[in-house]
Copies of this chain bind each other. A is one copy, B any other.
Amino acid sequence: MSAQVIAIDAMGGDFGPRSIVQASLACLSATPSLHLTLVGQPSLLEELLSGQSAADRARLTIMPASEVVTMDEKPAQALRGKPDSSMRVALELLRDGKAQACVSAGNTGALMALSRFVLKTLPGIDRPAMVAAIPTQKGYCQLLDLGANVDCSAEHLLQFAVMGSVAAQTLGIARPRVALLNIGTEDIKGNQQVKLAATLLQAARGIHYVGFVEGDGLYRGEADVVVCDGFVGNILLKSSEGLAAMIAARIEALFRKNLASRAVGALALPLMKRLQADLAPARHNGASFLGLQGIVVKSHGSAGVQGFQSAISRALIEIQENLPERLHGRLGDLLS
């Protein structure tokens, strides 16, 4: 396998560069064909790398960037006011062919705006979407959009369905079942966009559309790809995170109350922690931006070392599977 180069926005996220550098070193040692370019303030990054041996640093390059996009900055401000931000420079490396993917834990809105501006979208795609895997009773489903697009037309939902289907295929599902998220399974249910999107999907060639799925059906594993607008997807994802945290807290309290059961609590709690991590996929596994001319993976701002490593791994899979090229081909077939 040939070498992969990933550009890392080393300055983004709530935990700052320290955990990003740690995650980068861990990934380099795990994957011999991987090269990373850390983009950020050189003196700071050098300091964080100072204890490392030459061997550990062999496939790691530092690319200077003088500015940092903050977590609460407006996308337009990041776009117009910071031409030398670590986020932007990392995306430019990707655009210029000096990297095959970009990973950032920074401000989501700014990353989306800069990605669209620097990389452009694929032909036939109006707006990129954010997708992540969420756990179900039968495995995982790819849920999109997760918040990049608050208002969506039926055509946008169709584009998301096509992109989600291809993304699921790159993750090993040969014929992904694609569903639209709705408040009922009958034809008459839902808002105008969803009803119209159903008609478009029924007519789309090469996509295995299985109809509407409700919120509970999603967790029962009734589909491999679930499509909705970014407002609904974000609410679903974050409320799931919140509910899982609440249940974990209640179970912990239950086991704490009863001394005799503490030992067994030790059985249940790791399960809950794993579930919670699963239910914060952007936090844990990274969320992909689909529909761009390039691979961009967003790690959660408070992801920590392991979360950032997972985001790099997702970027690696997308490089190996040629995700943007495959998307481009399928979009040409399906949306023509």
Contacts and interface: CB of A to CB of B under 8 A. Distances in A.
Contacts of A279: 243
A227 B238 CA distance: 16
Interface stretch (A33-41, A52-60, A95-103, A250-258): A250-258
Given A191-B151, A239-B239, A72 B186 contact: yes
Given A183-B231, A188-B74, A240 B238 contact: no
Nearest to A238: B215
Interface in A238-296: 238-247, 249-251, 254-255, 258, 260-261, 264-265, 267-268, 271-272, 275, 279
Contacts of A275: 247, 250
Interface size class of A (residues with CB under 8 A): 35 or more
A216 interface: yes
Most buried by B among A191, A220, A228, A231: A231
A74 B150 CA distance: 30
A234 B246 contact: no
Most buried by B among A186, A215, A279: A215
A44 interface: no
Contacts of A241: 215-216
Given A188-B74, A231-B183, A261-B267, A247 B246 contact: no
A216 B242 CA distance: 4
A196 to B, nearest CB: 13
Contacts of A64: none
B74 A230 contact: no
> Which secondary structure dominates where chain A touches chain B?
helix
Contacts of A272: 247
Contact of A242 (B151, B188, B220): B220
A136 interface: yes
B244 A247 contact: yes
Contacts of A216: 238-239, 241-242, 245
A183 B219 contact: no
A316 interface: no
A235 B232 contact: yes
Interface of A: 72, 74, 135-137, 147, 150-151, 181, 183, 186, 188, 190-192, 214-220, 228, 230-232, 234-247, 249-251, 254-255, 258, 260-261, 264-265, 267-268, 271-272, 275, 279
5 contacts: A216-B238, A216-B245, A228-B235, A240-B243, A254-B268
